[in-house]
Amino acid sequence: MENNNISILGAGLIGSLLGIFLRKRGLDVSIFEKREDRRHQLYKEEGRSINMALSDRGWKALEKVGLKDKIKDLAIPMYGRRIHDEHGNTTFQQYGKDGEAIYSISRGKFNQILVDEAEKVGVQLNFEHKCEDVNIYKKQIKFSLPKWEAKKHQANVIIGADGAYSALRSSMQKQERFDFSQHYISHGYKELSIPPTAEGEFAMDPNALHIWPRGKFMLIALPNPDKSFTCTLFLPFEGTKVCFDKIHDKKDVESVFKTYFNDAYNMMPTLGEDFFKNPTSALITINCYPWVKNQCLLIGDASHAMVPFYGQGMNCGFEDCYVLDGLIEKYGTTSWELIFEKFQKMRKPDTDAISQLALENFIEMRDAVSDPKFLIRKKIEARLHELYPKEWIPLYTMVTFSDIPYSEAYAQGKIQDRIMNKVMADPLITQNWDKLDYEDIIDQVETARMV
Ligand SMILES: Cc1cc2nc3c(=O)[nH]c(=O)nc-3n(C[C@H](O)[C@H](O)[C@H](O)COP(=O)(O)OP(=O)(O)OC[C@H]3O[C@@H](n4cnc5c(N)ncnc54)[C@H](O)[C@@H]3O)c2cc1C
């Protein structure tokens, strides 16, 4: 049946997982990917090994397609943040309750498994097919192939999972009443690396996400199964004392790292080379609507790219797949208009909320986490959650360890934030936090919710 024929653009994390979901619903699925098939080469992305944090929403989607156990074998649990101060001292801040963790996983290996699985369940894969344009009304896709070949493909249903610079979205932008905005933050990022020790061991605690918060900039590191760490340096591009524009040679790199990240510097023997070999990349937020036009749908980063500071871009895209699959389960595939319309209405408030939270969390990560008052605040919130598990759920827990809609988490988080600001305004809070009237705080939450 015509309606059962789906063309997905992009075999990234979201496109390949969506392919699996749709194929498992008995649909004919073809994925078109601009890159060549690199699954069987040693995994490296432009010379870098990049890893990501996978959390509950991502796991939920993987579980639904039966991939949770396979992926878990490759993932390293990180139970909290390990904060490195400028003198090399570290403190550990647990993310959630005992046993709750986010998981570090190699993006390339993960993508490879998803594409392999898509192929296994019968998705047709077309590599080296770069979408140049989509005629939304005719549902015709123009591809460029290697050697300047071109190809037209007549589709029935088109889903753009082709990332932040989506070609489907560009074609939709030519339509009337398509809202679009993009915003680059002033910071960029660069991937670096901490290799295993001479004894072949992890150079730091592998079960933590390491952060070197330095106010306007920061370094983070996530563990890899080969006992190395992938580090990401976030710096302003220009205009501040420490910024990418002012780092010209290895001596400059050394000077910045020795001054601000000395303990990390001592574990990075190839820092100078890596810094100039690896690209400096920008960080973008994309906002657009509608996501649907004539049976063409945007999903994942194509519809809502966000900055990476909540570690939710991929998790949110996986949740997109989960929600879309739930709608197909409920309504069948006879009316894609109905399903896509419901999908965008449901998801847009949630993806707006997590995009905003991701921007806000940058300040928390690069600055607040090193403030002793921040630790007290977290302790109070943890106590409230322990005493009143339903009435008070810390924002990080709602986003990372639950599937509470992001928009609800956002609204609830703002109420809690206001109340915590009042609690923290007490000049003696550092001494008194243990003796607070926790019941009264919960009463305040209940009252605020009713207003
Ligand atoms: C530094 C950094 C760290 C991050 N860390 C995390 C994290 O820890 N946790 C988390 O959840 N998220 C994280 N993210 C976000 C995450 O990377 C994205 O949300 C996720 O990759 C989105 O997947 P996607 O499939 O929608 O897009 P992409 O991963 O961009 O994949 C798009 C695919 O489409 C293909 N494509 C593009 N254009 C075309 C075209 N014209 N024709 C055909 N194919 C095309 C591309 O080659 C690619 O394969 C991070 C992002 C960054 C930048």
pLDDT in tens, 75-109: 999 999 999 999 999 999 999 999 999 999 999 99
Answer whether residue 43 shows pLDDT above 90: no
For ligand 1, is residue 131 a contact (CB within 6 Å)? yes
Q: Is the CB of 354 under 6 A from ligand 1?
A: no
Q: Is the CB of 167 under 6 A from ligand 1?
A: yes
Query: Any residues with CB less than 8 A from the CB of 5 and at least 6 apart, and which?
Result: 27, 28, 30, 155, 156, 157
Domain end point (choices 233, 265, 282): 282
> Could you tell me if 218 and 293 lie in one domain?
no
Q: Are residues 155 and 224 in the same domain?
A: no
Q: Which residues contact 387 (CB under 8 A, 6 or more apart)?
A: 438
Q: How many domains does the chain have?
A: 3
Say whether both 60 and 154 belong to one domain.
yes
Residue 193 located in a structural domain: yes
Instruction: Count other Cβ atoms within 10 Å, centred on residue 343.
Output: 21
Please work out whether the CB of residue 15 comes within 6 Å of at least one atom of ligand 1: yes
pLDDT of residue 451 exceeding 80, the answer is no
Least confident of 49-53, 156-160, 260-264: 49-53
Assess whether the C-beta atom of 188 lies below 6 angstroms from ligand 1: no
338 and 295 in a common domain: yes
Domain-located, residue 446 = yes
147 belongs to a structural domain: yes
Domain assignment present for residue 241? The answer is: yes
Indicate whether 203 and 330 sit together in one domain: no
**Considering only CA atoms, which of 428, 425, 438, 336 is closest in space to residue 383?**
438
> What is d(CA 400, CA 379) in angstroms, rounded to the nearest whole number?
18
* Three-state secondary structure call for residue 386: helix
Two tokens at 176?
């009337």
**Percent above pLDDT 90 for the chain:** 89
> What pLDDT was estimated at residue 334?
85
pLDDT for 218:
95
Say yes or no: 325 and 426 in one domain.
no
Q: Which amino acid is at 403?
A: D
> Ligand 1 atom 35: the closest Cα is on which residue?
10
Q: Are residues 29 and 157 in the same domain?
A: yes
Instruction: Name the amino acid, one letter, at 312.
Output: Q
**Residue 42 belongs to a domain:** yes
Ligand 1 centroid distance, CA of 11 (Å): 10
Residue 135 inside a domain? The answer is: yes
Could you read off the pLDDT of 238-261 as tens digits, one per residue?
999 999 999 999 999 999 999 999
Nearest residue (by CA) to ligand 1, atom 31, is 12
Range of the domain at 65: 2-75+103-181+286-361
Per-residue pLDDT tens over the stretch 263-294: 999 999 999 999 999 999 999 999 999 999 99
SS3 state of residue 187:
strand
pLDDT, tens digit (0-9, with 9 covering 90-100), for 141-150:
999 999 999 9
Q: Domain end: 330, 361, 392, which one?
A: 361
Task: Ligand 1 pocket test: pick from 20, 34, 114 the residue with the most ligand atoms within 8 Å of its Cβ.
Answer: 34
